């Protein structure tokens, strides 16, 4: 007997392939793509995305923390590189990463010193990337620390190998940050020069996230760290508009991987003048036909979509009526002939030429598409489809 969840998230292999081709065409063959798979691959599941990426020849993955690296190592092929961009809890995790050949950002001198000591004790070579603070003001080595860092690296080159030098931009998805991003690019070049002057040169430079890689070609350098765009989403409307003309001419576009689907669990008719669901936020003003869908805020369908969200049934866009409950929504299907129990309901994705995009879904629920993706509950099954 197969017991199923009340909804399912489909992940499109052909959309992923399209997106990697899009990015490669744009960046050229000299730029390596590191697939950013933090946040369980932006809600898509690392177990789905790593194999899809590897099928497209991607062999470099970026995660946030040691536990995410651990999850990735279970799935990735032998030769694939895993890089931790952020947090490592303790020496045990650091030692595990060194022994597994997982590389990681160094943004504090202390982490480098620990790394050297541990690598020496383990008799293994640690692989590190130097993260430079250029103005994002989160993590990163400041200019005054670079001489010391370079000194340590040169002295302990037998146990620590610097693979790259990197930084992260503070909002490359918005023109409002243009000056700040340009200043960061300048500071990054300065840091790379300082390091080279101190004997640490020839490194793989990687600074660009999706938005930077799509709109600031000079930030692509040897490698880019692409998250949201590989999943088929634009980092912002500005980024989309920036690329629009060129993409139109070349007939290319990003395609979303994700569709979220459920089925009608019940239908019913109510007369005019009836409140629908909890409270009195929706009053019928004519006899209406309703469909109940078994997805609510416990399943990631935000309560702020009450009286506000839309779904697709039989190729028609229909509205959420009344409040979203923990496990259900009620939608109005009065004008859609023949709706019956078991009909497919598309919460995100396409149906017969209509589409509910995550972007529109997010606007309605006032969330960033990044956040909505990351919040899709882990327990909704993900299946890879054609």
* Shortest spacing between CB 63 and ligand PLP, in angstroms: 10
**Catalytic residue from among 16, 22, 38, 114:** 38
Footprint of ligand PLP (CB under 6 A): 36, 38, 85, 168, 209-211, 225-229, 235
Nearer to ligand PLP (CB atom), residue 82 or residue 336: 82
Name the DSSP class of 45: -
**Is the Cβ of residue 50 or residue 264 nearer to ligand PLP in the bound state?**
50
Region class of 71: left (phi > 0), else alpha (psi between -120 and 50), else beta: alpha
Q: Which is nearer to ligand PLP, 96 or 136 (CB)?
A: 136
Between residues 107 and 361, which has the closer beta carbon with respect to ligand PLP? 107
Residue 192 CB, nearest approach to ligand PLP (Å): 17
Give per-residue burial for 319-341: e unless 16+ CB within 10 Å, then b.
Answer: bbbbbbbeebbbbbbeebeebee
- Asked if 178 contacts 215 with a C-beta cutoff of 8 angstroms, the reply is no
Q: Which residues contact 350 (CB under 8 A, 6 or more apart)?
A: 259, 312
Q: How far is the CB of 375 from ligand PLP (least distance, A)?
A: 15
CB of 309 to ligand PLP, least distance (A): 25
Closest to 11 (Cα-Cα) out of 231, 210, 227: 231
Half-sphere exposure of 71 (CA within 13 A, CB side): 18
Helix (H, G, I), strand (E, B) or coil at 298: helix
In 106-224, which residue ranges form alpha helices assigned H by DSSP? 109-122, 146-155, 178-197, 210-215
The residue among 133 and 284 lying less far from ligand PLP, judged by its C-beta, is 133
Residue nearer to ligand PLP on the CB measure, 105 or 361:
105
| Nearest Cα residue to 329 out of 314, 312, 350, 316 | 312
CA angle 378–382–383, rounded 5-degree value = 170
Active site residue 17: no
At which residue do the structure tokens 């409140």 appear? 275
Q: What is the sign, positive or negative, of the torsion defined by CA atoms of 7, 12, 16, 22?
A: negative
Catalytic annotation on 278?
yes
Q: How big is the chain, counted in residues?
A: 386
- From the list 21, 244, 268, 278, the catalytic residue is 278
Which residues carry out catalysis?
A: 38, 278
């Amino acid at each position: 007997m197969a017991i199923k969840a009340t909804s399912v998230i489909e992940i499109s292999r052909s959309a992923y392939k399209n997106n990697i081709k899009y990015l490669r065409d744009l960046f050229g063959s000299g730029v390596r793509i590191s697939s950013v798979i933090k946040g369980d691959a932006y809600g898509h599941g690392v177990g789905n995305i790593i194999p899809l990426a590897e099928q497209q020849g991607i062999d470099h993955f970026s995660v946030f923390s040691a536990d995410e690296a651990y999850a990735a190592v279970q799935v990735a092929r032998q030769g694939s590189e895993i890089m931790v961009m952020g947090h490592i809890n303790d020496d045990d995790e650091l030692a595990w990463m060194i022994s597994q050949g997982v590389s990681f950002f160094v943004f504090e001198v202390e982490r480098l010193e620990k790394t050297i000591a541990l690598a020496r004790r383990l008799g293994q070579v640690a692989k590190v990337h130097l993260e430079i603070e250029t103005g994002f003001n989160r993590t990163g080595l400041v200019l005054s620390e670079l001489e010391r860092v370079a000194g340590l690296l040169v002295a302990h080159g037998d146990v620590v190998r610097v693979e790259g030098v990197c930084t992260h931009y503070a909002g490359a998805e918005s023109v409002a940050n243009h000056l700040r991003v340009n200043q960061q690019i300048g500071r990054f070049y300065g840091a790379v020069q300082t390091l080279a002057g101190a004997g640490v040169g020839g490194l793989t430079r990687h600074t660009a996230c999706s938005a930077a890689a799509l709109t600031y070609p000079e930030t692509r350098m040897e490698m880019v760290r692409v998250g949201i765009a590989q999943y088929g989403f634009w980092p912002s409307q500005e980024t989309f508009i920036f690329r629009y003309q060129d993409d139109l001419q070349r007939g290319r576009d990003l395609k979303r991987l994700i569709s979220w689907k459920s089925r009608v669990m019940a239908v019913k008719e109510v007369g005019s003048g009836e409140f629908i669901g909890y409270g009195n936020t929706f009053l019928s003003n004519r006899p209406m036909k309703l469909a109940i869908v078994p997805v609510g805020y416990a399943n990631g369908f935000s309560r702020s979509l009450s009286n506000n969200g839309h779904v697709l049934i039989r190729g028609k866009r229909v509205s959420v009526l009344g409040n979203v409950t923990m496990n259900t929504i009620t939608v109005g299907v009065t004008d859609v002939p023949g709706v019956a129990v078991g009909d497919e309901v598309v919460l995100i994705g396409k149906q017969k030429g209509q589409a509910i995009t995550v972007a529109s879904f997010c606007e309605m629920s006032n969330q960033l598409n990044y956040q909505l993706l990351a919040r899709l509950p882990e327990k909704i099954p993900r299946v890879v489809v054609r």
